């Protein structure tokens, strides 16, 4: 168990070693147990977290706010449009000043080509931990919740289990590709064989693919890429199917929206779930476009673990905050 994470940033999934992620999981499970027993966990009494949002949120805001309260601290919600960021406050100002007001800075900024750089620039000037609540490249806290959920549902020994990370059709907007990218980086370290499925135009960032293949080689797992959703689902233990945009193929959102329409058949439905193993679980970070991205029957069905997954956001985040901000 790695016991000293105090003061560390968590921006990329690989910022923490496998052993450090295992420590986060141990603490998260302990916090979840204590919450079930109504035991107080005031590890961050009188600490304050700045939560700076450049993009809307439901689960992320709610789980970080609740998590800080459970830890005895306070989370300050800051919507970027209500600040002076548009009128001159640079990442240096945010890092320097918020780093003096607060005990941690959490940022969500998913604008393509901007978000990750912004968070890292703030971290460069901050004297307190900077946490990535989602950027254009990574969604590390969602991935921690996903790992926690898989460990709960599939046991601690995941070697040889097949996890499908699949693109799915969604009409709402070009969603960030940070979730699938975090999954293919983190999950091979815990023994999962990854099958990544997407239409040709929806490939992930080449440098992330290279890093994922390196993690797979290092930890002795399989990593394959297919362009057929049915083929991917066959004999899977874990199905994680969600939409993401074609930003690597084209930065033009209008062209991206046109491309998406070609693949309306990429939906997670009961027929596809039947291709997976009978005890396969269905995962999604939410919100999902119901009956477009996934059918109600799957989302609300017995194989779906989406609400347990959403709950685990809070426990995993509490663990990282307690370890880094304490």
Q: How far is the C-alpha of 155 from the C-alpha of 274, rounded, in Å? A: 22
Predicted pLDDT of residue 205: 98
**Angle between helical axes of 18-36 and 140-154 (0-180°, round to 10):** 70
Can you name the residues that pair with 193 across neighbouring β-strands? Answer: 162
Number of domains in the chain: 2
According to DSSP, residue 140 is labeled H
Co-location of 125 and 146 in the same domain: no
CB 283 within 8 A of CB 149: yes
CB 31 within 8 A of CB 319: yes
Co-location of 268 and 320 in the same domain: no
Predicted pLDDT of residue 171: 82
Co-location of 287 and 175 in the same domain: yes
Q: Are strands 130-135 and 104-109 parallel, antiparallel or unpaired?
A: parallel
CB 232 within 8 A of CB 260: no
Residue 3 belongs to some domain of the structure:
no
Q: Give the residues of the chain that fall short of pLDDT 50.
A: none
Query: CATH number for the domain including 268?
Result: 3.40.50.1370
- Phi then psi for 135, rounded to 5 degrees? -130, -170
Co-location of 176 and 125 in the same domain: no
Mean pLDDT over the full length of the chain: 97
Q: How far is the C-alpha of 199 from the C-alpha of 201, rounded, in Å? A: 6
Predicted pLDDT of residue 172: 67
Segments forming the whole domain that contains residue 119: 13-139+313-325
Co-location of 192 and 299 in the same domain: yes
Co-location of 162 and 262 in the same domain: yes
CA 40 centroid distance within chain: 27
Q: How do residues 166-209 score in pLDDT, each as one tens digit?
A: 999 998 678 999 999 999 999 999 999 999 999 999 999 999 99
């Amino acid at each position: 168990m790695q016991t000293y994470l105090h003061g560390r940033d968590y921006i990329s999934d690989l910022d923490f070693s496998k052993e450090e992620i295992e420590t986060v999981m141990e603490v998260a499970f302990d916090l979840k147990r204590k919450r079930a027993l109504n035991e107080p966990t005031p590890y961050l009494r009188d600490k304050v977290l700045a939560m700076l949002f450049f993009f809307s949120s439901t689960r992320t805001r709610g789980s970080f706010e609740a998590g800080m309260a459970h830890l005895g601290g306070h989370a300050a919600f800051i919507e970027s449009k209500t600040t002076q960021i548009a009128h001159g406050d640079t990442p240096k100002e945010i890092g320097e000043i918020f780093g003096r007001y607060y005990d941690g800075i959490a940022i969500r900024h998913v604008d393509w080509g901007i978000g990750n750089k912004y968070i890292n620039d703030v971290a460069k000037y901050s004297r307190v931990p900077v946490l990535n609540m989602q950027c254009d490249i990574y969604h590390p806290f969602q991935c921690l919740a996903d790992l926690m959920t898989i460990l709960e549902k599939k046991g601690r020994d995941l070697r040889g289990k097949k996890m499908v990370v699949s693109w799915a059709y969604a009409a709402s907007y070009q969603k960030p590709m940070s979730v699938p990218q975090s999954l293919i980086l983190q999950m091979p370290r815990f023994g999962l064989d990854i099958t990544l499925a997407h239409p040709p135009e929806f490939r992930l960032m080449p440098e992330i693919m290279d890093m994922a293949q390196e993690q797979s080689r290092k930890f002795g797992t399989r990593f394959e890429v297919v362009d057929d959703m049915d083929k991917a689902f066959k004999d899977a233990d874990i199905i994680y199917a969600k939409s993401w945009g074609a930003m690597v193929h084209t930065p033009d959102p209008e062209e991206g929206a046109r491309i998406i329409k070609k693949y309306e058949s990429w939906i997670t439905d009961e027929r596809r779930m039947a291709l997976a193993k009978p005890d396969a679980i269905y995962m999604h970070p939410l919100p999902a476009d119901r009956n477009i991205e996934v059918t109600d029957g799957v989302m609300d069905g017995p194989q779906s673990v989406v609400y347990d997954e959403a709950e685990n956001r809070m426990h995993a985040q509490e663990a990282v905050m307690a370890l880094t901000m304490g």
